[in-house]
Amino acid sequence: MTEKGGVRVGRGVRGGRGAGWGLRALVALVLAAFALAACTPTGPAEPPTTPPEETTDPSQSPSESATAQPLPWGPTEAEVEAAIATASAMSPEQVAGQVILARYPGTDPAAAADQLSQYHLGGLVLFGENVGSLDQVVATSEAIQAAQSELDRSWPAIFAVDNEGGLVQRLSAETGPWTSFPDFMAAGAANDAEVTHDAAQAMAIELRASGLNFDFAPVADVTIGADDAAIGTRSAGDDPERVAATVSAAVDGFTDGGVISSLKHFPGHGSLTVDSHESLPEQTASARELTRRDLVPFQAGIDAGAATVMMGHIAVDAWDEDLPASLSPAAYQHLREDLGFTGVAITDGLDMGALTNSYGPDEIAVMALDAGADLLLGPTDVGAAHQGIVDALEDGSLDRDRVDEAAGRVIAMMRWQAQAGEATGPVDPDESSFGAAASLALSRAAITQVAGECGGVLAGPRVHVRGGSTQDWDAFVAAAEAGGLEVVPLEEDADSDIRLVTAETPETGSDVAIALDGPWLLRGAGNPVQLAAFGHTAGTFEAAVDVLTGEADAPGTLPVQVRGLPASSC
């Protein structure tokens, strides 16, 4: 094993934008080899057997499937058609479950497996309350996949997680041996495709080492900054083109790590001042404005090969002012026809206030599928959602072909993920903490200086440290002392006063201000030295200390415009 920048060369195909196509080509070659072997008879053929939840398409030969041009997200059209045929042989109960991705209770692997089996689910999603330890998460994955096999399904069950970095990261240093990554806005500040790719690939390797195969990332929203109700530093920035380039690099990284990625939250939540977790936001921008701003990163991520797009609970006046995009046929039509997306359309969580304030879980499930969704995320009542789909299929109010199409896309995606995972090579639970170097590299590339003389010593050698949470203070002090600064009590004299600026601990006057959250927190601060750091990780603090001591430059630029601040003072 060799390393470069903390990420192993040879773990998939490395190299920034477009690298995911290298992995797809590798998988295609592997499948072609299998197809050639399959075309050479070695003896009398045995009659095929078809398990209850699987079938084959007799019109599709292995060689045709192997040599056809892959779709941008992985499988060929023939493979998708074969998967739809598999879905069409399922019972209503089986196919209804295949399009649901549900939450599950607690940390008991058996409970997760039971949830999957009871409703024939397409998969499960892990949240913080489902994390006890690395061994427990791995055991849960093994139990889920064993239950999938017992359902006579030859493709993996989805085991998904929200791991964006920053505030939204279920598997992090706070919950186990995993690496904490900075906010995705750090990638926008770095504006470096290779660094962003490597961070996403490292995170993907950690997830696969823990038994997960699907990550709800990257965020493709274009933020408006401080007034953004739900996204903020989860976004790569306010410039559509910069966000697009960052999203593309991240998609490539996830692909090269063997994990399915998901662009969210279509058609863009970053310009809204209402949080869809609470109620339904309204997007009043014209179709032209959406195309020129919010949709640019989604188009880039689709072109880069993202397998899924998450539909936001956002009422778009230009398309359908009465329904959120997640329930709007017009929104799915725009995604498919105008952006050319052929992969899996997944809803945002169906337990969010934008939907539950108006509809029941059975209504939501049927409406979303009828509109064009392929995978339903997190119904409030899985049993009710499942039964609602079954009832609608049986009374004809939900078209069976539409549900087969949805389930088939999910099956094709998971067959492809299994092949891609094999192509990238095996992973081991020991690799669950693989990403520290990539996280540090991202923080080093992101740190941005917007005030103060560049290139020299900015603080110390004796410093006071104020602000931030207790965890922030402890982590910064550890990094400061490791970097040669002496942190002294506030009652003692110091050469510099350093303030860790967060929404909870705003700037109150200091020599050095370091914004750990959005850079807009520095607006009007007037400190002699100001840094934007975009995170709370060990790497964030190490990178900041190296700039303060003159050991490193601050190469980042602000990915959002902040009134009164330059993009960089260096």
DSSP string, 504-561: SS---S-SEEEESS-GGGGTT---SEEEE----SHHHHHHHHHHHTTSS------SS-
Q: Is 277 a catalytic residue?
A: yes
Q: How far is CA 66 from the centre of its chain?
A: 29
Q: What is the pLDDT of residue 11?
A: 45
Alpha-carbon distance of 491 to 512, in angstroms, equals: 18
pLDDT at 315: 92
- Contact at 8 Å (CB) between 404 and 57? no
Low-confidence ranges of the chain (pLDDT < 50): 1-22, 27-52, 54-67
Adjacent-strand bridge partners of 466? 499
> pLDDT tens digit string along 240-280?
999 999 999 999 999 999 999 999 999 999 888 777 887 78
DSSP 282: E
Angle at 290 between CA 284 and CA 294, to 5 degrees: 110
Question: Is the separation of the CB atoms in 199 and 251 below 8 Å?
Answer: no
Q: Which of 108, 277, 391, 497 is the catalytic position?
A: 277
Domains and CATH numbers, the chain: 77-426 (3.20.20.300), 447-548 (3.40.50)
State the burial class of residue 493 (Cβ atoms within 10 Å of its Cβ: 0-12, 13-18, 19+): exposed
Given this model, what pLDDT does residue 299 score? 98
Q: Is 348 a known active-site residue? A: yes
How many angstroms separate the CA atoms of 174 and 263, rounded? 25
The separation between CA 299 and the C-alpha centre of its own chain, rounded to angstroms, equals: 16
pTM of the model: 0.89
pLDDT tens-place string over residues 206-238: 999 999 999 999 999 999 999 998 999 999 999
b/e burial code for range 142-160 (CB count within 10 A of at least 16 → b): ebbbebbeebebebbbbbb
Please report where in the chains the tokens 């019972």 appear, as a residue: 91
User: DSSP letter string over 323-371?
Assistant: S-GGG-HHHHHIIIIIS---SEEEESPTTSHHHHTT--HHHHHHHHHHH
- Amino acid identity at 540: T
Alpha carbon distance 290, 295 (integer Å) = 6
User: Using CA atoms, how far apart are residues 343 and 309, in angstroms rounded to an integer?
Assistant: 8
Structure tokens at 215: 């990550």
**Helix (H), strand (E) at residue 96:** helix 92-98
**Contact in structure between 45 and 39 (CB atoms under 8 Å):** no
Residue environment code for 227-258, b if the CB has 16+ CB neighbours within 10 A, otherwise e: ebbbbbbbbbbbbbebbbbbbbbbbbbbbbbb
Contact 223, 160 (CB under 8 A): no
Sheet holding 123-126, edge to edge: 214-215, 158-161, 123-126, 100-102, 376-377
Can you tell me the distance from the alpha carbon of 430 to that of 131, in angstroms, rounded to the nearest whole number?
Answer: 17
Omega of the bond prior to 218 within 30 degrees of 0, cis? yes
* Residue of 162, 348, 404, 472 marked active site: 348
Q: Map tokens 């072109």 to a residue.
A: 303
Angle at 107 between CA 344 and CA 216, to 5 degrees: 25
